[in-house]
Chain A
Amino acid sequence: MHIPDGYLSPQTYLPLYGVSFAFWAIALRKLKSELSVKHIPYLAMTAAFSFIIQMFNIPIPGGTTGHAVGAGIAALLLGPWTAVIAVSVALIIQAIVFGDGGITAIGANCFNMAVVMPFTSYWVFKLAMGKSKNLSSPLFSKGGKGGFARLSIASFLSGYIGLSISAVITAVEFGIQPIIAADADGKPLYAPYPLSVAVPVMALEHLLLFGIIEGVVTAMLLKYFLKHEPDAVYAIRGDRQ
């Protein structure tokens, strides 16, 4: 999912830098007003946490292992606006220090994984949970099986759909390159795959494999947090009050 340098034309990576800048500015203003002077250490620690989540390889039922992008679970735990900054900072450090993702593509990668994914995951979770208010401890007691199933499905869908939508948007960014940046003979100058190839390939591999990994990891982590640290979960804090 990390777009390297050289695949996006300037007419794509510059506007995406602009969009990401706008989200960063809004997120910083929002968080600063909520957290006041505490926002700097808070955001730094959450960004380090977002980075660290991606380091864990987790066994998935069926024999495979994988790691999550983590933007979905970050949005559920921290709230989507905090996740925008936390995941963006993690992506910027990955690009600069580890060569994971290009420098010209930082705006695009942040838009795809730190803006689209947290918001999609958060709203899918909210939508799937519906008006369920009974999210306090009985959920995990013997009588709370129905609520638990709903929560598991909601958190799985949150990670699954969040990553899949983000992958499709990445594919569209790739797929429009041959249309907007080709030479006089029609030869593509940047990512060479047209929309008819980029979108199905990215969508299928994320719908059939990576999305499932992200969904399972998100559900597994949320389940653990609700069992042991229910007050830490931003997405249900409002419902619990």
Chain B
Amino acid sequence: MSFIESGIEHLGKVIKTGYVQWELASGNGFFQRLDARIKVLFLIFFIVIVSLKRELLPEIAIAFFVFSLTFASRLNILNFYGRVLFFGFVFGFLIAMPSAFNVITKGDIILPLIHFSKPYDFWIYHIPATIGITEEGISTVAMLTLRVINSVSLSFLVLYTTPFLDIIRALKVFRVPDAVLMIITLTYKYIFIFAKTIEDMHLAKKSRTAGGIGNKEAREWIAGRIAFMFKKSRQRCEDVFNAMIARGFSDTVAIYGFKKMNKRDAAAGCVLFSAGIIFLWI
């Protein structure tokens, strides 16, 4: 049952992430008090800037800028950067690391590791006589790792300071149709409801099971639970639809917009936009 447990653990993390996000978004820091539209525009603008930068220095400057915003938003720096660095390590450093070798990135070898008597050619591949880490390769790995760290920290900064439903509502700025926003909103809510249902089913099964069960039986059980979730999602669809009809839904979805932006939001928006322009320019 250990693999079932690990699946349930994964589901538990989903629920916990949602709860932590909701809890932190209701804090009283700099970003929490900003209008969600400003934050979503900031996120998109800065993530594009991060993807456009071609040198390490501007990426480092952006990293410091995001750090100062995180600090001003009174987020738990250790937890926040613990998660960000984990993503940066796995999706940035680990994936990019092999490209530091001269087999992938040509350049000046700064750390020779393996020597052969001669270079080898195999089909379209060339193995040089000396394999090692190049200066250019290190710079590529550092660049990719920093890009991942910056992008993830920007996403988490906005996510941890804004309720998810406000983020989705703010996408109206980009003229995303209300029907699409409603689909995403409903999906988000039901992911948590379904995750909880699966957790309950697992607990019920565990409390009735004495000893272990075989893989074949476990596969049957999981297939059965997935089928049950499918049936449940169909049934929920009917329930939600009936509830929508009962509340007078015709065919037009209209998600309410935000209240008018105040001067504080406009000023913060101008500062963030100006910072973005500076990062674009340097």
Contacts and interface: CB of A to CB of B under 8 A. Distances in A.
Task: Say if A and B assemble together.
Answer: yes
A131 interface: no
Contacts of B63: none
B266 interface: no
A228 interface: yes
Contacts of B4: 57
Contacts of B99: 188, 192-193
A223 B222 CA distance: 13
Contacts of B164: 96-97
Contacts of B115: none
A56 B222 contact: yes
A40 B223 contact: no
Contacts of B155: 96, 99, 103
B3 A59 contact: yes
Interface stretch (A109-117, A134-142, A179-187): A179-187
Contacts of A204: none
Interface majority SS on A: helix, strand, loop or mixed? Answer: helix
A40 B152 contact: no
Interface stretch (A85-93, A147-155, A161-169, A206-214): A85-93
Contacts of A67: 7
Q: Which of B4, B151, B159 has the largest number of chain A CB atoms within 10 A? A: B151
B151 A5 contact: yes
B51 A61 contact: no
B47 interface: yes
B3 A58 contact: yes
Contacts of A121: none
Contacts of A232: 230-231, 234
Interface string B78-110: 000001000100011000101100001111000
A44 B187 contact: yes
Nearest to B106: A186
B24 interface: no
Given A4-B92, A48-B191, A55 B14 contact: yes
A170 interface: no
B11 A224 contact: no
Given A38-B237, A40-B253, A41-B244, A192 B105 contact: yes
Contact of B183 (A40, A49, A196, A229): A40
A38 B148 contact: no
Interface in A192-206: 192-194, 196-197
Given A45-B233, A58-B222, A89 B184 contact: yes
A196 B54 CA distance: 24
A220 interface: yes
Nearest to B251: A37
Interface stretch (B136-144, B204-212, B272-280): B136-144
Contacts of A13: 51
Interface residues of A, number: 69
A33 B123 CA distance: 53
A229 B218 CA distance: 19
Contacts of B152: 4-5, 99
A41 B194 contact: no
B48 A104 contact: yes
Nearest to B242: A41
A213 to B, nearest CB: 12
B156 interface: yes
A72 interface: no
B117 interface: no
B270 interface: no
A93 B184 contact: yes
A23 interface: no
Given A5-B51, A49-B229, A57-B10, A92 B198 contact: no
Contacts of A80: none
Nearest to B223: A224
Nearest to B143: A189
Interface in B200-234: 215, 218-220, 222-227, 229-231, 233-234
Interface of B: 3-4, 6-7, 10-11, 14, 17-18, 21, 43-44, 47-48, 50-52, 54, 83, 87, 91-92, 96, 98-99, 104-107, 124-125, 136-137, 139-140, 143-144, 147-148, 151-152, 155-156, 159, 164, 167, 179-180, 182-188, 190-191, 193-195, 198, 215, 218-220, 222-227, 229-231, 233-234, 236-238, 240-241, 244, 249-251, 253
List 10 A-B pairs, minimum CB-CB distance, nearest first. Answer: A6-B147, A5-B151, A44-B186, A192-B99, A224-B223, A48-B190, A41-B240, A45-B233, A57-B7, A47-B187
7 contacts: A37-B241, A99-B155, A192-B104, A192-B144, A220-B223, A225-B227, A229-B227
